[in-house]
Structure 1
Amino acid sequence: MNAHPVRTQFSLDHGPGRYRIGLIALASDYVVERDFMNMRPSDDVVVFVSRVLNVNPCTVENLKTMGPRLSGAASLIVPDGRVDVIAYCCTSGTTAMGYDAVASSIQETRIDVPVVTPITAGLLALEKFGAKTVAVLTPYVDDVNRALITYIEDNGPRVTALTSFLIADDNQMAGIPPDTIFEAALEADRPDADALFISCTAIRAVDVIGKIEQALGKPVVCANQALFWQSLRVAGYTDPVSGYGELLSMAAE
């Protein structure tokens, strides 16, 4: 049977979404895809997700193994379509490999597409708040924590204190209850810290970030919030987004 051609005159539009974010999530990540979808202000923002194989436990050496696989993960994000930005959703992976290595691998297959990461987005957010000192909360073990603190202090504010859950299994990080993250954030804060940074895209800090800010009375930046914020700005979305902390609630300058 031959199909009857549609007689209605039509033309193609740009497809779903004026602002298109490509997201590379870790294979073991339970949280970041949910967070990005929840934080979307409207269907004008679309998120296309790919995943990259990561190796447990979460150590600096294991994190580095993702590097060669990022180009393949990026190539699967609407390969023949427009993407405004690609977000690699691993804070510790970026600190282990370095931003340039991450971006270079992704841009092997997505040439000229801007690349954002949680740590570089987090540092931009802390700079926006004028933070010269920061307290840090992480779920990581010691070698990953050391790499993170070195990266922060080499590229941004001085770290006044580090508090950690000391978890090596990436799957377990997603099991930290949001209320526990809230209590740990209060514990991690220091009077001499201008802001608090909560690292790791695998934990549910977005759920309680507004509550933490209200309790501490200072800016709080967490990985998924900062990554989404910079992804929006690079994609060209400039309006405020409510419900997920002060950072997203500010319109672009």
Structure 2
Amino acid sequence: MLTQHEYETNELFLEHSKAPRPDKVHIGLVQLSTDHSIEADLNRLIGSSAMIFSNRVYYSSSMTKEALAEISQGITKSASLIATGLPMDVMAFGCTSASIVIGNDKIRELLTVDNPGIPATNPWMGALAAFEHLRAKRVSIFSPYPTEVNYPLYQQLVAEGFTVPTIGALRIEKDTDITTVSFESMLEGARRILEHSPTDALFMSCTNLRALEHIEKIEAELGVPIVTSTQAMYWHAMTLVGKQPKIEGFGQLLAG
């Protein structure tokens, strides 16, 4: 066996040139420790146009305003550990209900402490922008949340100038249970909501709700645009960097 000195004199030194950063939109994502759906859904959407670099932040899974507000304590630390040394084009926080409770401006601030000046989004910010883009004034809600989370959602929609004809709520108490909601339950709930009052768009809230793959089926059945949390967040992230996405199979918002 060679000594270290002998090894060093025999090691073949190779030179290398630097390849450019991949020519894709780099999205830095902070997602919840309890989210079982957002990664798979984003992988369905990004195609060859974007790359997702993510980290997780702790969440107890309890669907209360207090538990959702506590998530804010870990967002900046989580964001700082995303792909160290690789610049992001846009930052994203993957929780709708926490964004409503914490606030869009605060979320943006927490996400960009180490990346000042770059754009940031979240599912709630993306949804509001999507409603404007779709020219939807009357927005009904399919919500998996309990009432104490639904009421702030309603308040903020109204404050933004939207009419909210109906909010249908599953009143699920744990975030990890939201991912188990079946397509049949989503479709039947959406039917009931639209039967109750006419609407311009239906927002199916929560990144953990596995609605993305069913958007086109629900739109075809109900005849109104369906906006989901992950779909809206991705659409908004891309538009913030000037890359209007056009993807077939995931609803009117992404179809261009």
The two structures share one fold, judged by TM-score above 0.5: yes
Q: 1:121 aligns with which of 118, 126, 138?
A: 126
Aligned to 1:6: 14
1:162 to 147, 158, 167: 167
Q: Is residue 248 of structure 2 the alignment partner of residue 242 of structure 1?
A: yes
| 1:18 maps onto 2:45 in alignment | no
**Does structure 1 conserve the Cα–Cα contact (< 8 Å) formed by 2:166 and 2:197?**
no
Equivalent residue for 2:144?
Answer: 139
Number of residue pairs aligned between Structure 1 and Structure 2 = 247
Task: Please say which of residues 104-113 and 198-207 is displaced more in the overlay.
Answer: 104-113
TM-score (norm 1): 0.92
For 2:166, what is the secondary structure of its paired residue?
Answer: strand
Q: Does 1:108 align with 2:107?
A: no
| Amino acid across the alignment from 2:33 | A
CA distance in structure 2 between the aligned counterparts of 1:239 and 1:90, rounded to whole angstroms:
21
Q: Distance in 2 between matches of 1:56 and 1:239?
A: 32
8 Å Cα contact 1:179-1:208 kept in structure 2: no
Of residues 63, 86, 90, the one that matches 2:91 is 86
**Paired amino acid for 2:237:** S
Partner of 1:48: 53
TM-score (norm 2): 0.91
Q: Which residue of 1 aligns with 2:43?
A: 37
Deviates more, 1:15-24 or 1:217-226: 15-24
Q: Matches of 1:191 and 1:180 in 2, distance apart?
A: 19
The answer (yes or no) to whether the contact 1:178–1:207 under 8 Å persists in 2 is no
Looking at structure 1, the residues matched to 151 and 197 of structure 2 have their Cα atoms a distance apart, in angstroms, of 22
Q: Contact 2:239–2:245 (CA<8 Å) still a contact in 1? A: no
Tell me which structure has the larger Cα radius of gyration. 2
One-letter amino acid of the counterpart of residue 58, structure 1: M
Amino acid at match of 1:234: L
Partner of 2:229: 223
* Contact map agreement 1:206 1:224 (CA 8 A) in 2: yes
Q: Percent identity?
A: 29
Provide the alpha-carbon RMSD of the alignment.
Answer: 1.5
Aligned AA for 2:172? I
For the pair 1:174 / 2:179, whether they are aligned, the reply is yes
The answer to whether the 8 A contact 1:178-1:205 is kept is yes
